[in-house]
């Protein structure tokens, strides 16, 4: 039987970090085992579901490259099917109508609590075989087994046993005719042939009741894997207060999609001491059974480090495509300056994100307007600054080709000409070219400016020296 996994978000907001990791693990498990990955939108909560959220989830998955093989399926389009299965259960005597009001149920719960038990429905209509009637309180409830226990082997949590005495007769069909979550997932997972249910561990508590429904329907129970949560840096539940929660926010903040993927795959899973995984390696090595049991915290520092690793090791041309996106996002036209791929090479050791890179790259795409006063005082107002700049200018002007190596040699020649070390030429030049004391290596800094602009900036600096 071919493996089929699914990611089933409810469209009530953007794709967040936790959801993205769940989707990644489902996707990897399917790819690793040569199976299929299905996307299903659980939109039965009509109050909170929006089309915008559906689009946001699709966008997030698309950016991460988590392609689905089937779907998206929408639960709201499957209402007839849930009703049909419910009727089946009713006919088989495995479900029944109940008509208690919210107040009555509330009273039952309070009574159970008072006895030191869980708040739940007491099953009073269970054996009454009440007929269908048009009543605003009408719900269809599941006849949960009253004795014995439910057992399932969770691929990450291990064997979990649950006494049926702890479970009550859950609602299958609400009074508004919509199925409840626990019923709809089971019907969907059966219909869609899902073999491996991989989801957040906030669902472990639902699993025993779902297993009972599988049994009542005579369907094969899939294997389950419940993933631990991702916590914020402070160990608290991830929320908007912790900054970026939406996956797309990470794109805006300058992260590469596969850096995020790499970070996410290592959060709760590992393969020996390996830290860097290409997507192909993830697919080859991932096994959901190796996922850790405990929750983990999100650490932006490590994500940033990983991002820089990819910035440094990926093909500059590929990084440049993402880099240009960020240049534009910051209002810079890439055509007004050097080749973005060259800029990537110059800045990838100095920036952890593409956003940071784009900010640092502005000097080459916009005219130099300001000088840092401290930089001017320290490196331009010296006895050697002017001769150094003049010597460098002469060398640059005479260069037959404008290349980093040639520029490097020219600067060395200029230093030799005035009898000083590299530093005495490099620093004034750096201030001349960027207005600051910090930039990539001086030859690259000069190169990226282009000869005409470099000479212009040097002339302006000489005038100030």
Partner RNA sequence: GCUCCCUUCGUCUAGCGGCCCAGGACACCGCCCUCUCAAGGCGGGAACACGAGUUCGAACCUCGUAGGGAGCGCCA
Which residues have a catalytic role annotated? 240
Report in angstroms how near the CB of residue 166 gets to RNA at its nearest.
5
Q: Is residue 90 close enough to count as binding RNA by CB under 7 A?
A: no
Q: Which of 127, 176, 370, 373 binds RNA (CB under 7 A)?
A: 176
Choose between 45 and 453: whose C-beta lies nearer to RNA: 45
Report in angstroms how near the CB of residue 133 gets to RNA at its nearest.
13
Structure token digits, residue 334: 């890439």
Which 3 state secondary structure label does DSSP give 228? Answer: coil
Locate tokens 């300058």: which residue? 254
Report in angstroms how near the CB of residue 459 gets to RNA at its nearest.
20
Report in angstroms how near the CB of residue 102 gets to RNA at its nearest.
6
Report in angstroms how near the CB of residue 65 gets to RNA at its nearest.
21
Report in angstroms how near the CB of residue 325 gets to RNA at its nearest.
22
Residues 11, 56: Cα–Cα separation, whole Å: 9
Q: Which of 4, 5, 6, 10 binds RNA (CB under 7 A)?
A: 10
Report in angstroms how near the CB of residue 343 gets to RNA at its nearest.
14
404-463 residues in contact with RNA (CB under 7 A) are: 408, 421-423, 426-427, 430, 437-443
Element (H, E) at 88: helix 79-91
312-331 residues in contact with RNA (CB under 7 A) are: 312
Nearby residues of 443 by Cβ (< 8 Å), 6 or more positions away: 404, 405, 407, 408, 411
Structure token digits, residue 376: 């001017």
Residues 124, 270: Cα–Cα separation, whole Å: 50
Residues 7, 22: Cα–Cα separation, whole Å: 7
56-85 residues in contact with RNA (CB under 7 A) are: none
15-44 residues in contact with RNA (CB under 7 A) are: 42, 44
Could you tell me if 403 and 382 are in contact, meaning their C-beta atoms sit under 8 angstroms apart?
A: no
Residues 367, 363: Cα–Cα separation, whole Å: 7
Choose between 178 and 255: whose C-beta lies nearer to RNA: 178
Report in angstroms how near the CB of residue 340 gets to RNA at its nearest.
19
Could you tell me if 316 and 265 are in contact, meaning their C-beta atoms sit under 8 angstroms apart?
A: no
- The residue range among 57-65, 118-126, 324-332, 383-391 that interacts with RNA, by the rule CB under 7 A, is 118-126
215-254 residues in contact with RNA (CB under 7 A) are: 228-229, 231, 235-237
Could you tell me if 185 and 218 are in contact, meaning their C-beta atoms sit under 8 angstroms apart?
A: no
Query: Pairing state of beta strands 296-297 and 223-227?
Result: unpaired
Going residue by residue from 370 to 399, which x/- string records binding to RNA, judged by CB under 7 A?
------------------------------
Element (H, E) at 230: strand 230-231
Going residue by residue from 251 to 290, which x/- string records binding to RNA, judged by CB under 7 A?
---------------xxxxx-xx-x--------------x
Q: How many residues does the chain have?
A: 465
Q: Which of 122, 191, 201, 372 binds RNA (CB under 7 A)?
A: 201
From first CA to last CA, the distance across the chain in angstroms is: 77
Q: Is residue 151 close enough to count as binding RNA by CB under 7 A?
A: no
Report in angstroms how near the CB of residue 233 gets to RNA at its nearest.
7
Q: Is residue 307 close enough to count as binding RNA by CB under 7 A?
A: no
Query: Pairing state of beta strands 70-74 and 223-227?
Result: unpaired
DSSP 8-state code for residue 78: G
Choose between 44 and 195: whose C-beta lies nearer to RNA: 44
Locate tokens 């090791």: which residue? 313
Tell me how crowded residue 462 is: count the other CB atoms within 10 A of its CB.
18
Give the chain's radius of gyration (CA, Å). Answer: 32
Residues 196, 177: Cα–Cα separation, whole Å: 29
Give ∠ CA 323-328-329 in degrees, rounded to 5: 90
Going residue by residue from 330 to 369, which x/- string records binding to RNA, judged by CB under 7 A?
-------------------xx-------------------
Q: Which of 92, 111, 113, 399 binds RNA (CB under 7 A)?
A: 113
Number of residues that bind RNA (CB under 7 A): 86
Choose between 83 and 296: whose C-beta lies nearer to RNA: 296
Residues 217, 208: Cα–Cα separation, whole Å: 14
Choose between 5 and 44: whose C-beta lies nearer to RNA: 44
Structure token digits, residue 48: 């909170």
Q: Is residue 302 close enough to count as binding RNA by CB under 7 A?
A: yes
Q: Which of 29, 36, 100, 253 binds RNA (CB under 7 A)?
A: 100
CA-CA-CA-CA dihedral for 96, 97, 98, 102, to nearest 10: 120
Choose between 171 and 331: whose C-beta lies nearer to RNA: 171
Which 3 state secondary structure label does DSSP give 380? Answer: helix
Choose between 380 and 426: whose C-beta lies nearer to RNA: 426
Q: Is residue 97 close enough to count as binding RNA by CB under 7 A?
A: no
Q: Is residue 144 close enough to count as binding RNA by CB under 7 A?
A: no
């Amino acid at each position: 039987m071919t493996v089929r996994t699914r990611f089933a978000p409810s469209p009530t907001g953007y794709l967040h970090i936790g959801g993205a990791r769940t989707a990644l693990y489902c996707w990897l498990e399917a790819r690793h085992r040569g199976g299929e990955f299905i996307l299903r939108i659980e939109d039965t909560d009509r109050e909170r579901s929006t089309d915008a959220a559906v689009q946001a989830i699709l966008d997030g998955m698309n950016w991460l490259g988590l392609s689905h093989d089937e779907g998206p399926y929408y639960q709201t389009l499957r209402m007839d099917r849930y009703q049909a299965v419910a009727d089946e259960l009713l006919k088989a005597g495995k479900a029944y109508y109940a008509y208690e009001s919210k107040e009555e149920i509330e009273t039952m719960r309070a009574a159970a609590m008072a006895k030191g038990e869980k708040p739940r429905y007491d099953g009073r209509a269970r054996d009454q075989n009440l007929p269908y009637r048009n009543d605003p309180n009408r719900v269809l409830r599941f006849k949960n087994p009253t004795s014995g226990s439910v057992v399932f082997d969770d691929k990450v949590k291990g064997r979990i046993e649950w006494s049926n005495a702890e479970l009550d007769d859950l609602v299958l069909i609400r009074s508004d005719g919509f199925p409840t979550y626990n019923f709809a997932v089971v019907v969907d997972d059966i219909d869609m042939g899902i073999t491996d249910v991989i989801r957040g561990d906030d669902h472990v508590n639902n699993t025993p009741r779902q297993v009972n429904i599988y049994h009542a329907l005579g369907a094969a129970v899939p294997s389950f894997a419940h993933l631990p949560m991702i916590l914020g840096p402070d160990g608290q539940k991830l929320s908007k207060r912790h900054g970026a929660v939406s996956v797309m926010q990470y794109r805006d903040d300058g992260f590469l999609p596969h850096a995020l993927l790499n970070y996410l795959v290592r959060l709760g899973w590992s393969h020996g001491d390996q830290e860097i995984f290409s997507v192909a390696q993830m697919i080859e090595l991932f096994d959901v059974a190796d996922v850790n049991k405990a929750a983990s915290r999100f650490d932006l520092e490590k994500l940033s480090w990983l991002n820089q690793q990819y910035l440094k090791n990926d093909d500059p041309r590929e990084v440049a495509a993402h880099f240009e996106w960020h240049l534009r996002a910051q209002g810079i036209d890439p055509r007004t300056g050097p080749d973005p791929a060259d800029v990537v090479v110059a800045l990838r050791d100095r920036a952890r994100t593409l956003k940071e890179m784009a900010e640092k790259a502005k000097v080459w795409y916009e005219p130099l307007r300001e000088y840092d006063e401290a930089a001017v005082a320290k490196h331009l107002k010296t006895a050697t600054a002017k001769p150094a700049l003049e010597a460098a200018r002469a060398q640059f002007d005479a260069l037959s080709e404008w290349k980093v190596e040639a520029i490097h040699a020219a600067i060395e020649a200029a230093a030799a000409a005035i009898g000083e070390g590299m530093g005495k030429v490099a620093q004034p030049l750096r201030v001349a070219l960027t207005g600051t004391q910090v930039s990539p290596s001086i030859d690259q800094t000069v190169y990226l400016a282009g000869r005409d602009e470099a000479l212009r900036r040097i002339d302006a600096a000489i005038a100030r020296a």
